[in-house]
Structure 1
């Protein structure tokens, strides 16, 4: 007996495991009949998951936490038994802003502290001249993109709520907004940064792996009540995704995966651009400059697919830092409980992994993250809007 499922996704490279699980037949082999529904905005995906129009979704990790805490919308407890991607975002800036930052930079242009300090000088000069504040696009208030932009800027002394404008844009609209001058920069997942570079309207300034060594990005999300009513179906879904992630991470399969993802009803972007993303080899400038990173996007390797509650704690800490919620032990516990390594392990018949590194996040600035002392961690940062 097959289990029919409707799963929503946004056209991004980190939907790869979901798309490949369906299109390569891994889901069908687990007795699942999955219909993938392509959406434009994260609010659409969240709302349709919350009200039951979707059984599962490709979802921003912070949205799963915010939904469980009742932040920004109705409270619907969500569980995430599988990570769809670690890293994968990048910060892309207009040619004009790139030139301005490079003219002010002191040090390595790939060092996020050097660029953040340069940005602070650009912001100060614009303020002195009476120019409008710079505008940065990000995908959602409860998004890694929002927190990564803010973390980077604030490290250089730029207050993201006072010195620049942050606006929400759906991922597929980022490139046009940059080309039209509606934004000066954006942070988004692949492949939209590469599309901007290929069109000559942007420069990739940073991979998110420059800012955070290991940052959970999207998760496979289901409602908690649905997971409790359908444990076998959920386990089958995790197994199908695990097979897909393993398939994607084999270099000899990358060309086929890129073709699958490039289909119009999936991501709808040239397969060569998608493959560059999967290989971690990106063109970062319209002049053809290339940059490689083995950490650009992790789908299954290095234990990327297994949920880590410490990642959830870091995301919760950002919500507190930027005034989206108040700090409380109960809320932290709820946030960490969204990420379910126990469901992942049970579905795959695996034992829990060995203890993680001392700092599971690896941020370029500030102290090592300690999930047991959120207040102490946040106290180390000068810029923020949280109250103890």
Structure 2
């Protein structure tokens, strides 16, 4: 079968796994794609090289297409995503010293976001210096979920705690040298911090906001409109890689592929932790988080426009963009659920009927309406009990304003 060459940028993170598997397991080739993967060192490089056309597509932070389309990036370029690379995968990891202080103030070590945040608030209140946390990029899910967790725990970001930006692979070393006290990042860099720097995982994304997105396949809007068949082929390759990766029988092979020098260049056993959800969180404590990383189940690859709007709400909350109907429309348009449905139509698989959903109301699994059947969705609670209804966007933004 003839193939078309496309170049994709990625960062050494576990949630590049579907992109990697699309190449390594032949899913891309079966869809007519000669997928060439280029490993990058930072999200800023991914952002800029995608904007100027070095990459046809790229693994991106979920808010990155929004930031580019809203003019928040150095090279403002309309970007879209037609497919999500999974749910979860992030955690908040702290130094051994900070964890001891949190434990002394009641942190139970069960990864629950509420008690961990309450303990951190007590540490911050008692500290004689401002703690510093690292995130991987300014307009990242990591930055927004860290800020959300801190704020809901009574800690004001920027005022009570400093937040700095570092590429994911540099975060464990920065923690080990005392340059930062904690960080929010995807795997394997939390587990590597635990294994090599004596760090402790304090809480996880799956506890802060259940079934929430983190990485996507992003691309220039013009490239997508000029190459609709390539976009559809890529979405199908990612979807099929997801179905393969979801099978527990394939986790060991997926970990072995991802651990290779070309990808994560990390210990295979450490890489496998997030795939199984069996996490060594530090100090000899092991916890099983069944929904730590969801590569495919629960419509994990569907680009919900409401998820784009939640990220937009956080951009407004933290002063990165002004609230307006026009900005909300631009943000929602970046998540192309229509392209996802078009791409998967030949496979006759179930896809959501709606473009939006309310998050924060489902505490158990349940089904939603779908084309070609129904879909089972996981719980979607925020740890502080809040509800995000995209039909009440303005009211939600007003309620989320930071307080001095």
TM-score category by the smaller chain?
over 0.9
Higher relative contact order (CA 8 A, sep 6+): 1
- How does the TM-score come out when normalised to structure 1? 0.94
Q: Name the structure 1 match of 2:390.
A: 371
Question: 2:359 — aligned with what?
Answer: 359
Q: Distance in 1 between matches of 2:265 and 2:109?
A: 35
Task: Write the distance in 2 (CA, Å) between the matches of 1:24 and 1:367.
Answer: 40
Partner of 2:341: 345
Match of residue 298, structure 1, among 294, 299, 318 = 294
Worse-matched range after superposition: 222-231 or 103-112: 103-112
Question: Separation in 2 of the partners of 1:199 and 1:178?
Answer: 10
Cα-to-partner distance string for 1:139-172 (whole Å, 9 max, x where unaligned): 0010011011111111121110101110001000
Could you tell me how far apart the structure 1 residues matched to 2:89 and 2:110 are?
A: 19
Q: Which SS does the other structure have where 1:64 is aligned?
A: helix
Q: For residues 284 and 132 of structure 1, what CA distance do their matches in structure 2 show?
A: 26
- In structure 1, the residue matched to 2:169 is 172
Does residue 306 of structure 2 align to residue 310 of structure 1? yes
Match of 1:146 among 143, 158, 164: 143
**SS of the residue aligned with 2:198?**
coil
> Which residue is equivalent to 1:202?
199
Deviations, residues 194-222 of structure 1 (Å, cap 9, x unaligned): 01111242000111111001211000111
Equivalent residues in 2 for 1:186-201, closer than 5 Å: 186-201=183-198
1:229-253 deviation per Cα after TM superposition (whole angstroms, max 9, x unaligned): 1111111111111111111111111
The 2-side partners of 1:67 and 1:184 are apart by 30
Partner of 2:320 in structure 1? 324
Secondary structure (helix, strand or coil) at the match of 1:105 reads: coil
Structure 2 CA distance for partners of 1:65 and 1:341, relative to 1, 3 Å? same
- Equivalent residue, structure 2, for 1:218: 215
Question: SS of the counterpart of 2:352?
Answer: coil
Counterpart of 1:98 in structure 2 is 99
CA distance, structure 2, for counterparts of residue 14 and residue 133 of structure 1: 32
CA distance in 2 between counterparts of 1:93 and 1:305 reads: 30
Flag structure 2 segments of 5+ consecutive residues without an equivalent.
361-379
- Offset of 1:372 from its aligned partner? 2.1
CA RMSD of aligned residues (A): 1.7
Sort the Cα spacing of 1:49 and 1:382 in 2 relative to 1 into closer, same or farther, 3 A: closer
Give, in whole Å, the separation in 1 of the partners of 2:217 and 2:101. Answer: 39
Q: How does 1:51-90 map to 2 (within 5 A)?
A: 51-90=52-91
Q: Is this contact kept in 2: 1:157–1:383, CA < 8 A?
A: no
| Partner residue in 2 for 1:12 | 13
> Secondary structure at the residue paired with 1:172?
helix
The CA distance in 2 between the partners of 1:352 and 1:248, in whole Å, is 19
Superposition pairs of residues 155-166 of structure 1, within 5 angstroms: 155-166=152-163
The normalised TM-score by structure 2 is: 0.90
- Report the counterpart of residue 280 of structure 1 in structure 2: 277
Count of matched residue pairs: 380
- Listed one character per residue, the Cα deviations across residues 115-160 of structure 1 (whole Å, up to 9, x for unaligned) are 222222211111xxxx321000000010011011111111121110
